[in-house]
Structure 1
Amino acid sequence: MKRLSLILILTIFLTTFLYSMSDEDIFYTKCTNCHGTEIIFKKKLNKKGWKKL
């Protein structure tokens, strides 16, 4: 039960943290961890396309 509560609290915290970040902050913290920016900037997606990806 304690483990489930901890997971729930962490999930809520992380979700709140991500929603408080700007799109640019999310880009640099999430997308550039695995990929260089040159690969990302070559893609021509609209906002809906990026959210789906």
Structure 2
Amino acid sequence: MVVLLKKCEMVEDEELVEVVEMEVGEVVCDYELGGEDVGVMKGCAVKGVEGDGD
């Protein structure tokens, strides 16, 4: 399982994004959906639609 965090580019504080990543990991573990094996990615759908490779 992979979790995609959207809108990360709108957050100026990188530490806040890291906290959200940790919280998502804990929720996934709580629901027994894969635990440590779950990947968390940061993404932006707008950049994908625009064709921006970054």
Superposed pair shares fold, TM > 0.5: no
Point out the structure with the larger strand share: 2
Point out the structure with the larger helix share: 1
Q: Which has the higher contact order (CA 8 A, sep 6+)?
A: 2
Q: TM-score range, shorter-chain basis?
A: 0.3 to 0.5
